Amino acid sequence: MARPTVTDWATDFDHLDPAWVNDPFPIWDDMRRKCPIAHTDRFMGVYFPTRYQDVRAVAYDTVHFSSRRVVVRETPPPRIPAPPITSDPPEHRPARMVLLPPFTPDAIKKLEPRARALANELIDKFAGRGSADAAVEYSQEIPARLIAHMLGLPEADGDLYRRWIKMVLVDGITDVSVALQAAGEMHQYFMGYAQQRMEKPGDDLISYLVNIKSNGQPLSTENVIGTLRLLLIAGIDTTWSGIGSCIWHLATHPEDRRRLVREPALMATAVEEFLRAYAPVTMAREVIKETTINGCTFKPGEMVLLSFPAANRDPSMFEDADKVIIDRKENRHAAFGLGIHRCIGSNLARMELTVAVEELLKRIPEFSLAGPVTWSEGTVRGPRQLPIKF
Amino acid sequence: MPDRATLKVRVNRDKCQGHNRCKALAPELFELDEYGNAHEIGDGAVPAGLEEKAYLAKSNCPEFAVEIIEE
């Protein structure tokens, strides 16, 4: 659908505009210099801070900025709670605490062998062909199947998850009924499994959630289903985009790719740098009380796009912010958010990114782009078509 | 950077959000609780040779939660 042309990025920006979707970085750099907190009347009013310090200030301020809406949509839907990401203090902390133990580095480490095997199964399918769509055939499959594996669900249901994600995060931005339909379908899907795992618990995340106690009380069904919805939505699209961006970078920067093959010990800093430079996730907040940050007054009822990707490109925070430096030593990036809503899946995402890049480089060390790349629009940024040849 | 072991690391528990950067960069100096939040090992004293890791942990913490005390 064609959107009205943007007349001025500082006062009329549109994060669904094709120019923004294809290459947002020059737009953000320009905003950061001229009007560090931009605003648009589109989407019923949205602010867009581009400086690290301002993004940080909003992320830390739970008094004026609420998480009850975390996606900017053309028309706000009735709230679809997905605790703890949509929770504010004081409800946030207990909802988060119960979810943390299955996502610690030690817990995630146990999933690594499955992730490596999965990556190789996917590569097996296209290795002999000399070409692949690295977004469709590789990047998106890894998180979808690994989340299914964690939840104790059929890995083949990944197709179903991707459909819901598109409905919530892409089509649902301009047509709320689609997002609501997806929420309803997910509810039904998870209800069945939740019931089943309550009766017959297994060694999976759904069983963990239906049997855990918070303050001596089991979680309400609504809470369990909302949390499962969150894990599905937040755990797949984001990592898929992150992996895709890594591969896009390596396809277009042969010197970095060859260096990583030669010096695999650089993988840890490289992954952090890819996370900084191509942070996939832009969150949102709803202004609930008027406040002023850096000279800009935020009006209640309007939204804020909380662009960790823009913060990560702020030259006042990062030296050579516009350059990808795979051995960057100091990297205080905000790809997983700042403050109480730090991405709960960050350890999982880092493991998936590392495994996906390592296994691909082991099997296919030389590759390049084979055609046009398309990028996702909306809350999560990453390649959706990424043709490579090798 | 001082080359004698006169440094101590400390994680500000109120600021830590469990990004796990310090533990990943300096597992000799930091450990995690069951929720994935970090604290310094023991009294946080940095043994000789680990000073650089201590500073890396500090300069990679997204929440500015890692402190280094020079005694």
Instruction: Look at residue A123 in the predicted model and tell me its pLDDT.
Output: 98
Is the pLDDT at A74 greater than 90? The verdict is no
| Record: contact A105-B32, CB cut-off 8 A | yes
Is the pLDDT at A162 greater than 90? The verdict is no
pLDDT band (50, 70, 90) for residue A369: very high
Instruction: Look at residue B4 in the predicted model and tell me its pLDDT.
Output: 58
| Record: contact B35-A342, CB cut-off 8 A | no
Please write the tens of the pLDDT for every residue from B7-57.
999 999 999 999 999 999 999 999 999 999 999 999 999 999 999 999 999
Instruction: Look at residue A259 in the predicted model and tell me its pLDDT.
Output: 98
Which domain range does residue A233 map to? 37-75+89-389
CB contacts under 8 A, A 305-334 vs B, are 329-334
A7 lies in some domain: no
**Domains, chain B, with CATH or none:** 7-51+66-70 (3.30.70.20)
Q: Which H or E run includes B56?
A: helix B51-59
A337: closest chain B residue by CA = B62
The interface predicted TM-score (ipTM) is 0.94
Is the pLDDT at A216 greater than 90? The verdict is no
| Record: contact B60-A332, CB cut-off 8 A | yes
Interchain CB contacts (distance < 8 Å): A and B: 51
Q: What's the angle, vertex CA A272, arms to CA A269 and CA A273, rounded to 5?
A: 85
Number of domains in chain A: 1
Nearest beta carbon to residue A342 from set B19, B24, B60: B19
Give A-chain residues touching B34 at CB under 8 angstroms: 100-101, 104
A207 lies in some domain: yes
Please write the tens of the pLDDT for every residue from A280-312.
999 999 999 999 999 999 999 999 999 999 999
Best of B35, B39, B53, B64 to mutate (most A CBs within 10 Å, chain A): B35
A80 CB neighbour count, 10 Å cutoff: 22
Q: Which residues of B touch A (CB under 8 A)?
A: 17-20, 23-24, 32, 34-36, 56, 59-64
The alpha-carbon gap from B3 to the nearest alpha carbon of chain A, in Å, equals: 20
The alpha-carbon gap from A3 to the nearest alpha carbon of chain B, in Å, equals: 36
Q: What is the CATH number of the domain that holds A371?
A: 1.10.630.10
Cα–Cα distance, A139 to A108 (Å, whole number): 19
Q: Of the candidates A347, A340, A304, which has an alpha carbon nearest to the alpha carbon of residue A95?
A: A340
Please write the tens of the pLDDT for every residue from B3-19.
555 899 999 999 999 99
A183 lies in some domain: yes
* Higher-scoring residue by pLDDT: A261, A80: A261
Instruction: Look at residue A3 in the predicted model and tell me its pLDDT.
Output: 84
CB contacts under 8 A, A 254-313 vs B, are 268, 272
| Record: contact B60-A104, CB cut-off 8 A | no
Is the pLDDT at A1 greater than 80? The verdict is no
- The percent of residues in chain A predicted with pLDDT above 90, rounded, is 81
- Radius of gyration in angstroms for the set of CA atoms belonging to chain B, rounded to a whole number: 11
- Report chain A's mean pLDDT, rounded to a whole number: 94
Mean pLDDT of A90-99: 92
Is the pLDDT at A215 greater than 70? The verdict is yes
A109 lies in some domain: yes
Is the pLDDT at A32 greater than 80? The verdict is yes
A276: closest chain B residue by CA = B62
The alpha-carbon gap from A97 to the nearest alpha carbon of chain B, in Å, equals: 7
Asked if A3 is an interface residue toward chain B (Cβ–Cβ < 8 A), one would say no
Give A-chain residues touching B63 at CB under 8 angstroms: 338-339, 342
The alpha-carbon gap from B43 to the nearest alpha carbon of chain A, in Å, equals: 23
pLDDT band (50, 70, 90) for residue B1: low
| Record: contact A347-B20, CB cut-off 8 A | yes
Mean pLDDT of A364-377: 96
A53 lies in some domain: yes
Nearest beta carbon to residue B36 from set A103, A272, A339: A103
Cα–Cα distance, A133 to A295 (Å, whole number): 46
Mean pLDDT of A71-93: 85
pLDDT band (50, 70, 90) for residue A352: very high
pLDDT band (50, 70, 90) for residue A67: very high
Is the pLDDT at A223 greater than 90? The verdict is no
Q: Which H or E run includes A383?
A: strand A383-385
Mean pLDDT of A237-253: 97
Tally the residues of chain A: 390
A107 lies in some domain: yes
A21 lies in some domain: no
Cα–Cα distance, A146 to A177 (Å, whole number): 29
Cα–Cα distance, A52 to A54 (Å, whole number): 6
3-class SS shares of chain A: helix, strand, coil, % to 5: 55, 10, 35
Mean pLDDT of A133-147: 95
pLDDT band (50, 70, 90) for residue A271: very high
Is the pLDDT at A356 greater than 90? The verdict is yes
Mean pLDDT of A13-32: 96
Nearest beta carbon to residue A342 from set B17, B24, B64: B17
Instruction: Look at residue A378 in the predicted model and tell me its pLDDT.
Output: 82
The alpha-carbon gap from B36 to the nearest alpha carbon of chain A, in Å, equals: 5
3-class SS shares of chain B: helix, strand, coil, % to 5: 20, 25, 55
pLDDT band (50, 70, 90) for residue A234: confident
Is the pLDDT at A385 greater than 60? The verdict is yes
Asked if A211 is an interface residue toward chain B (Cβ–Cβ < 8 A), one would say no
Nearest beta carbon to residue B62 from set A100, A103, A333: A333
Candidate ranges A72-86, A154-168, A207-221, B20-34; pick with highest mean pLDDT: B20-34
Cα–Cα distance, A153 to A231 (Å, whole number): 13
Cα–Cα distance, A141 to A123 (Å, whole number): 11
Which segments of A175-266 does DSSP mark as H helices, in order?
176-199, 205-211, 221-252, 254-262
